[in-house]
C-alpha cells in the first residue's frame, strides 16, 4: 500500500531581475584552496624524496617510506619463503617421482623491477594521476604483485633431463612418425615422455606458487608385433591429408567465427599408437588420436561460438489472462565438443578435410510457446507513472524511444535486472535525438536526454513492487520532472555503462514488464505482471536534511549556443535548493512480517538558473524575453 507524506512544493519560476555580477569571493577561495593543495602535495613529495610513498605494499610486505635498497632487502627476504613450495612429477608406470621447486625450472621474482614499480607508484603518469596515486596509497593502501620472470630455457632443460630418464626407445615392432613419414620398426616396447603435455600441465601451477602433484603422460610402444604395415599406412594417410578446416555450417553474421585450420603439425602431436590383441591372438598397433588433447583444442572455441538465447517478449491480456506474443525468442547456441570430436575422428582418415563444428541450440525458458501459467505471470502486481510536462519534443521522443526497449521483457526468478542491458546504445542511428542531458554536473547538449525519465519510472514501479534494489543513483540536483507524483528522492539516473539501475526478482515467478507512453497526458507508465505474494509496501518520507538555499541570480549560468537564433535566450535550468533527502521503504509479506527495510538516500546539490543564448546577446541580459 502507499503511505507517503506530502512532498514539498517548489516554485521553478526564474528570477527576472536586472543585470547582476558574480561575486569575487568564491573565486578567491578557490585560488586559495588550489595554492594550499599545491603546498601540501609538494611537502608530501619532499618528505618521500628517494623513498616509496606511504601505503605501498608488495604482496604482504609493507615498503612504505623505504628507499630502494631497504625495500629490495625486505622483498627478497619475503619471497625466499614463498618459493620453497615443491611440485611433484610422477611417472605413473614406474612410480618414480621428481621434486621441483619454482627455482629449479627458472621461476624467480625480479626484485629490483618489483621495487622500482613500487617506487614509481605516485611518480609516473600525468600530474593528476600522480596526485591520485599518492592519495589512494596514503588513504586506501596500494598492493602490488611481485614481478615474476620465467626462464623458459631452464624449464626446457629440466623437462629434457626428466625425459632422458623416462624415455626408453622401442626396438621391437613399432609404428612411429618421423617428420612427414610413418616408419614401421620391429622391436620391443618403448616409453616416451610427452614433454609438451608435461609443460602444458606444469606452467599453470608454477605461477600459483602452490604445491602440486602432476602425473606425467608416458606413451607406450608395445613389443612383439610381427608386421603392422597397415598401421603405418593409416598414419601416413592422416599426415598426407593436409590441414583440417573446422567451420560453422550456419554462421549467424559476418562477425561470427571464421573457419579455423588445424595444421598437420598439431595433428601429428595428437597421434597415438597402442598395441591391441587381434582375434587370432597376434598383436597389432591401434592408431588413434589423443582425445583429451583434441577435446582441449576444440574447447578453446566454445566461448566464441556461444550465443546467449534471447527471450520472447509478450504483453498480458487482462481480459483473457493470457500472454500475447510481441516478438519471438531467438535460440542460443553452444559448441558440442564431444560430437565435434567424433566428427573429426570419423573424417581424419578420409580425403574430406572440412569438419563442421557441431552446435546445439539453447531454447530459452521464455520462448514463444510459453504460457502465462507456465511462467507464473497471472496478474498486475505493481505500476507507476511519471510525468514530463514542459519537455521538449526531442526529450519526449527520446522517452518514447527508450521505453520501447523495455516493453514485453521477462525477468526470470532470481535474475538481476540491469537497465543498461536492455537500454543498449544511445545514438542518432538508434533513433535518439539531440537534447539537453546532465553530465558531470552540467546541463549540456547531447543525445538521449529523457532516458532517465524511463529509469525513474522503472525505479518507482520496483519500489512499490517490493523488489530489492541492488544499484540506484540519484541525479545531481532536484529536477522538476521527477518531483511531481512521488516527489524528491524517488528518481534514478543512468549513464551507460558506468551508472546503472538494477534490482532482483526475488520471487519464484517470472516478471513481465510493460510500459505505456501517453503523449496527450505527457506521462509514461510502467506495469509489472507476475503472481502476487501478498506483499505490501510502506513509504516513509521524503525527509529533508542539510538544506542549502537555491543559488541567487548572481550565480546564474549563461552558456553561448552558436546554433540559436541571434539575440535569443532560453532557460534550461531552474534554481533549486540542495538537500539530503531520505525516502524509507518497508516491505511486508502476506503475514505482515517485515522482509525488507531500507532507506534510499539522495544527496542533491543546490543548482542555479541556467540559460542558453544565441549570438549577439551580451550575457547576462535578463531584459530579453525567454523562448519557450
Q: Averaged over 415-443, what is the pLDDT?
A: 81
pLDDT tens digits, one per residue of 277-300: 778 776 666 777 889 999 999 999
Rounded to an integer, the average pLDDT of 369-380 is 96
Residue 231 has pLDDT above 90, yes or no: no
CA distance 52 to 260: 49
Number of H helices, E strands in the chain: 16, 37
- Mean pLDDT for the chain overall: 84
- Of 401 and 193, the structure prediction assigns the larger pLDDT to 401
Judge whether 319 and 340 are in contact, CB under 8 Å.
no
CA dihedral 409→413→416→418, nearest 10 degrees, is 0
pTM of the model: 0.58
**Three-state DSSP class for 191?**
strand
In three-state secondary structure terms, 267 is helix
User: 371 and 388 share a domain?
Assistant: no
Helix spans in 466-610 (H): 480-483
241: CATH: 3.10.20.800
Is the per-residue pLDDT at 15 higher than 60?
no
Q: What is the pLDDT of residue 10?
A: 47
How far from the centroid of its chain's Cα atoms is residue 455's Cα? Answer: 21
Whether residues 365 and 389 share a domain: the answer is: no
Identify the domain boundary among 375, 390, 424. 375
> Above 60 in pLDDT, residue 379?
yes
**For 535-549, b where at least 16 C-beta lie within 10 A, e where not — what string?**
bebebebbebeeeee
pLDDT of residue 266: 86
Range of the domain at 526: 376-627
In this prediction, residue 16 carries a pLDDT of 46
Q: Are residues 255 and 388 in the same domain?
A: no
- Same-domain pairing of 401 and 279: no
Angle between helices 152-166 and 195-206 (to 10 degrees): 130
Lowest mean pLDDT among 30-34, 47-51, 428-432: 30-34
Q: In Å, how far are 198, 299, 369, 377 from 373, measured between CA atoms?
A: 55, 38, 12, 6
Do residue 305 and residue 424 come from a single domain?
A: no
- 552 and 562 fall within a common domain: yes
Note the Cα 362 to chain centre separation in Å: 22
Answer yes or no: do 576 and 439 share one domain.
yes
How does residue 18 score in pLDDT terms, banded at 50, 70 and 90? very low
User: Per-residue pLDDT for 570 more than 70?
Assistant: yes
Domain match, 427 and 563 both: yes
Question: 536 and 406, same structural domain?
Answer: yes
Domain final residue pick, 322, 340, 375: 375
- The answer to whether residue 371 scores a pLDDT higher than 90 is yes
Does residue 365 sit in the same domain as residue 463? no
pLDDT of residue 416: 97
- 307: confidence class by pLDDT, cuts 50, 70, 90: very high
In a domain, 394, yes or no: yes
Task: Answer with the one of 336, 355, 375 that is the final residue of a domain.
Answer: 375
185 is a domain residue: no
Q: What is the mean pLDDT of residues 595-606?
A: 94
Residues 6+ apart with CB under 8 A from 394: 433, 434, 435, 449, 450
**Amino acid 1: pLDDT:** 46
Q: Taking residues 68-79, what's their average pLDDT?
A: 81
Q: What is the DSSP string of 284-343?
A: EEEEEE-HHHHHHHHHTTHHHH-B--B--EEEEETTTTEEEEEE--B-EEEE-HHHHHHH
Instruction: Compute the distance between CA of residue 460 and CA of residue 449 in angstroms, rounded to an integer.
Output: 19
Does residue 606 belong to any structural domain of this protein?
yes
Domain tally, the chain: 2
Note whether residue 10 is domain-resident.
no
> Is 495 a domain residue?
yes
Q: Average of pLDDT values for 177-199?
A: 69
CA distance 292 to 270: 9
Q: Look at residues 611, 386, 382, 588 and name the one whose alpha carbon lies nearest to residue 488.
A: 386
Based on the fold, state whether residues 367 and 382 are members of the same structural domain: no
CA–CA gap between residue 143 and residue 578 (Å, rounded): 38
What's residue 17's pLDDT?
Answer: 45
Q: What is the mean pLDDT of residues 535-554?
A: 94
What is the arithmetic mean of pLDDT over 201-218? 76
Q: What whole-number distance in Å separates Cα of residue 566 and Cα of residue 561?
A: 10
339/415 same-domain check:
no
Please write down the long-range contacts of 249-256, taking CB distance under 8 Å and 24 or more positions apart: 249/356, 249/357, 252/307, 252/333
The answer to whether position 565 is within a domain reads: yes
Task: Select from 163, 4, 19, 176 the least CA-distant residue to 91.
Answer: 163
Inter-residue contact 468 to 449 (CB < 8 Å): no
**Is 105 within the bounds of a domain?**
no
Q: Is residue 423 part of a domain?
A: yes
DSSP H helices in 174-326: 195-206, 229-240, 264-270, 291-299, 302-305
Amino acid at each position: 500500500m502507499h503511505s507517503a507524506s506530502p512532498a514539498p512544493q517548489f516554485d521553478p519560476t526564474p528570477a527576472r531581475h536586472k543585470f547582476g555580477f558574480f561575486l569575487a569571493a568564491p573565486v578567491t577561495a578557490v585560488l586559495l584552496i588550489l595554492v594550499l593543495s599545491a603546498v601540501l602535495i609538494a611537502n608530501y613529495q619532499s618528505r618521500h624524496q628517494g623513498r616509496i610513498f606511504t601505503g605501498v605494499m608488495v604482496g604482504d610486505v609493507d615498503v612504505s617510506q623505504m628507499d630502494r635498497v631497504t625495500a629490495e632487502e625486505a622483498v627478497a627476504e619475503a619471497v625466499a619463503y614463498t618459493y620453497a613450495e615443491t611440485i611433484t612429477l610422477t611417472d605413473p608406470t614406474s612410480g618414480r617421482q621428481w621434486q621441483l621447486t619454482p627455482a629449479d625450472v627458472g621461476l624467480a621474482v625480479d626484485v629490483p623491477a618489483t621495487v622500482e614499480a613500487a617506487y614509481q607508484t605516485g611518480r609516473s603518469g600525468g600530474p593528476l594521476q600522480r596526485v591520485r596515486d599518492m592519495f589512494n596509497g596514503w588513504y586506501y593502501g596500494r598492493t602490488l604483485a611481485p614481478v615474476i620472470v620465467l626462464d623458459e630455457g631452464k624449464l626446457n632443460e629440466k623437462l629434457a633431463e626428466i625425459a632422458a630418464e623416462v624415455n626408453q626407445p622401442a626396438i621391437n615392432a613399432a609404428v612411429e612418425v618421423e617428420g612427414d613419414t610413418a616408419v614401421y620398426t620391429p622391436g620391443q616396447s618403448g616409453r616416451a615422455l610427452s614433454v609438451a603435455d608435461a609443460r602444458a600441465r606444469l606452467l599453470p601451477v608454477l605461477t600459483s606458487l602452490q604445491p602440486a602433484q602432476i602425473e606425467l603422460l608416458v606413451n607406450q610402444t608395445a613389443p612383439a608385433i610381427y608386421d603392422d604395415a597397415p598401421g603405418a599406412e593409416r598414419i601416413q594417410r592422416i599426415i598426407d591429408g593436409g590441414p583440417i578446416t573446422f567451420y560453422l555450417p550456419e554462421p549467424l553474421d559476418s562477425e561470427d567465427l571464421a573457419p579455423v585450420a588445424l595444421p598437420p603439425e598439431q595433428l601429428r602431436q595428437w597421434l597415438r599408437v597402442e598395441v591391441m590383441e587381434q582375434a587370432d591372438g597376434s598383436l597389432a598397433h591401434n592408431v588413434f588420436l589423443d582425445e583429451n588433447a583434441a577435446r582441449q583444442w576444440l574447447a578453446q572455441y566454445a566461448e566464441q561460438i556461444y550465443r546467449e538465447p534471447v527471450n520472447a517478449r509478450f504483453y498480458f491480456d487482462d481480459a483473457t489472462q493470457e500472454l500475447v506474443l510481441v516478438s519471438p525468442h531467438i535460440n542460443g547456441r553452444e559448441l558440442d565438443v564431444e560430437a565435434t570430436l567424433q566428427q573429426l575422428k570419423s573424417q581424419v582418415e578420409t580425403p574430406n578435410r572440412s569438419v563442421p563444428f557441431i552446435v546445439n541450440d539453447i531454447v530459452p525458458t521464455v520462448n514463444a510457446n510459453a504460457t502465462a501459467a507456465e511462467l507464473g505471470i497471472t496478474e498486475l502486481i505493481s505500476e507507476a507513472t511519471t510525468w514530463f510536462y514542459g519537455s521538449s519534443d526531442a526529450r519526449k521522443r527520446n522517452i518514447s524511444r527508450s521505453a520501447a526497449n523495455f516493453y514485453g521483457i521477462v525477468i526470470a526468478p532470481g535474475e538481476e535486472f540491469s537497465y543498461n542491458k536492455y537500454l543498449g546504445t544511445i545514438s542518432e542511428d538508434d533513433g535518439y535525438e539531440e537534447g539537453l542531458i546532465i553530465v558531470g554536473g552540467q546541463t549540456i547538449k547531447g543525445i538521449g536526454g529523457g532516458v532517465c525519465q524511463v529509469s525513474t519510472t522503472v525505479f518507482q514501479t520496483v519500489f512499490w513492487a517490493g523488489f530489492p534494489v541492488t544499484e540506484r543513483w540519484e541525479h545531481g540536483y532536484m529536477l522538476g520532472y521527477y518531483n511531481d507524483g512521488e516527489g524528491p528522492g524517488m528518481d534514478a539516473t543512468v549513464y551507460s555503462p558506468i551508472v546503472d539501475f538494477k534490482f532482483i526478482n526475488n520471487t519464484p515467478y517470472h516478471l513481465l514488464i510493460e510500459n505505456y507512453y501517453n503523449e496527450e497526458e505527457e506521462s509514461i507508465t510502467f506495469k509489472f505482471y507476475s503472481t502476487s505474494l501478498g506483499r505490501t509496501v510502506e513509504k516513509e518520507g521524503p525527509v529533508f536534511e542539510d538544506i542549502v538555499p537555491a543559488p541567487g541570480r548572481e550565480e546564474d549560468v549563461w552558456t553561448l549556443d552558436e546554433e540559436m537564433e541571434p539575440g535569443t535566450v532560453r532557460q534550461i535550468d531552474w534554481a533549486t535548493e540542495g538537500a539530503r533527502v531520505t525516502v524509507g521503504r518497508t516491505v511486508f509479506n502476506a503475514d505482515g512480517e517485515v522482509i525488507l527495510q531500507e532507506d534510499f538516500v539522495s544527496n542533491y546539490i543546490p543548482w542555479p538558473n541556467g540559460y542558453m543564448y544565441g549570438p549577439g546577446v551580451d550575457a547576462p541580459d535578463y531584459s530579453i524575453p525567454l523562448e519557450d
